[in-house]
Amino acid sequence: MRACNVLITAASRRVPLVQAFQAALRNGPSCGIVVATDISAYSPAVHVADRAYRVPLASEPGYVDTLLALCDAEQISLFVPTIDDELPVCGAAIESFLARGVFPACSSATTALVCNDKRVTCGVLRMKGLPAAATWLPEELPEQLAFPLFIKPRVGRGAVGAFPVRNARELAFFLDYVETPVVQEYLDGPEFTIDVLCDAGGRPLSIVPRERVVIRSGVIDRGRTVKSAALIDLAADVCEALTFVGPLNIQCRMRDGVPTIFEVNPRFSGGIPLTIAAGADFPRMLVDMASGLPQMPRIGDFRDDLWISKFEAAVFLPGSGLELPQVTTPPAAVAAPVPVSVPVSVPVGEVA
């Protein structure tokens, strides 16, 4: 069997994810290495990966060409993008990866653009009959508002620029303070992330709900797995409403026993180590898929009530002058960046 080399982009602080793929390669039928990319040699994950390279920003022309050249040079079989910024660009290049014998663990550009825009995400899900937070642009806000509300950037991640809004005065302030904001109804109740892995045909292979008990800077600090039929069924319905390939995570709150979605991210979540530890080894399943091994759904096959309690770790690096090798791209024409525009029109009346 050919070695299954894995490329993980924007590795940054994703040390546990790199290590999980290394373990999947070490303990499974497919051998291989994990290659990481980043823009900084001081990102910790690049020092854990087997090899690492410096690449341009995803917004720069030539980003995809650089990744394709790296796939050729390192004989990559599985490509795993990890941040929202690059997902539309990588999703638009799926056929280019497949033509090189690389399985791209990412959804289409259309799905990525829908999910990157929080207004459109909730609007599409509500039109499909799924419980999602009422979401408005500033100009769409109804005259009669029920406080509290929640405001956040229309496109963003990591809870950056997200704030609860308790009254009209705070709303006016944050509408001016937050760049390109959306306003959502305030959802109270326990918060959950549902990790999902889909195969190349969009079929869910594994669904693992996790309660986010303690959150720091938008990422789970303490939490637990939860075998909830309501959450598992909701995730399956989301996969019917939108087509996903590879990992995704669905964020929701349980309100009066009913989960309500407020974000969907077609990538690995920050809490994926808990899902893996609970027995749903997404990296191993992806490696097997890229190696051509058949995969059957394993819905509900994970350990219930397993807790995660995170702590900080570090790598120690020399001073100035540390650099990653750059990828040499062919002198062929450089691909233009994918325009970041939402390919879906959601009527205002359907969003609120």
Quick: pLDDT tens for 294-340.
999 999 999 999 999 999 899 999 888 899 999 976 544 333 333 33
Q: How many CA atoms lie within 13 A of 115 on its CB side?
A: 31
Lowest-confidence range among 152-166, 211-225, 248-262?
152-166
Instruction: Please determine, for residue 342, whether its predicted confidence score (pLDDT) is greater than 70.
Output: no
What are the start and end residues of each CATH 3.30.1490 domain in the chain?
135-186
- pLDDT-derived band at 350 (thresholds 50, 70, 90) equals very low
Name the residue with higher pLDDT: 157 or 240.
240
What is the C-alpha R_g of the chain? 20
Torsion of CA 255, 261, 265, 270, to 10 degrees: 0
pLDDT for the residue 347:
41
pLDDT for the residue 138:
96
Mean local confidence (pLDDT), 181-205: 97
- pLDDT-derived band at 349 (thresholds 50, 70, 90) equals very low
Per-residue pLDDT tens over the stretch 18-46: 999 999 999 988 899 999 999 999 999 99
In the three-class reduction of DSSP (H, G, I as helix; E, B as strand; rest coil), residue 10 is classed as: coil
Nearest to 18, CA basis, from 230, 272, 201: 272
**CATH number, span 135-186:** 3.30.1490
pLDDT for the residue 90:
98
The type of residue at 219 is V
In the three-class reduction of DSSP (H, G, I as helix; E, B as strand; rest coil), residue 302 is classed as: coil
- pLDDT-derived band at 250 (thresholds 50, 70, 90) equals very high
Instruction: Please determine, for residue 289, whether its predicted confidence score (pLDDT) is greater than 90.
Output: yes
Task: Provide the greatest CA pair distance for the chain.
Answer: 63
pLDDT for the residue 336:
37
Mean local confidence (pLDDT), 130-134: 97
Nearest to 81, CA basis, from 72, 93, 69: 93
Residues 6+ apart with CB under 8 A from 331: none
Across all residues in the chain, what is the average pLDDT?
Answer: 92
How far apart, in whole angstroms, are the C-alpha atoms of residue 46 and residue 53?
Answer: 8
Per-residue burial over 146-172, b = 16 or more CB atoms within 10 Å of its CB, e = otherwise: eeebbbbebbbbeeeebbebeeeebbe
How far apart, in whole angstroms, are the C-alpha atoms of residue 49 and residue 52?
Answer: 7
Q: Are 79 and 104 in contact (CB under 8 A)?
A: yes
Per-residue pLDDT tens over the stretch 136-166: 999 999 999 999 999 999 997 766 789 999 9
The helix (run of H) or strand (run of E) holding residue 8 is strand 5-8
- pLDDT-derived band at 343 (thresholds 50, 70, 90) equals very low
**CATH number, span 5-114+189-309:** 3.30.470.20
Residue 143 carries which DSSP code? S
- Per DSSP, the chain holds a count of helices (H) and strands (E) of 11, 15
Lowest-confidence range among 51-55, 216-220, 222-226?
216-220
Structure tokens belonging to residue 82: 């990890």
How far apart, in whole angstroms, are the C-alpha atoms of residue 183 and residue 162?
Answer: 10
What are the start and end residues of each CATH 3.30.470.20 domain in the chain?
5-114+189-309
pLDDT for the residue 1:
63
- pLDDT-derived band at 2 (thresholds 50, 70, 90) equals confident
pLDDT for the residue 330:
58
The structure tokens 């008990």 sit at: 213
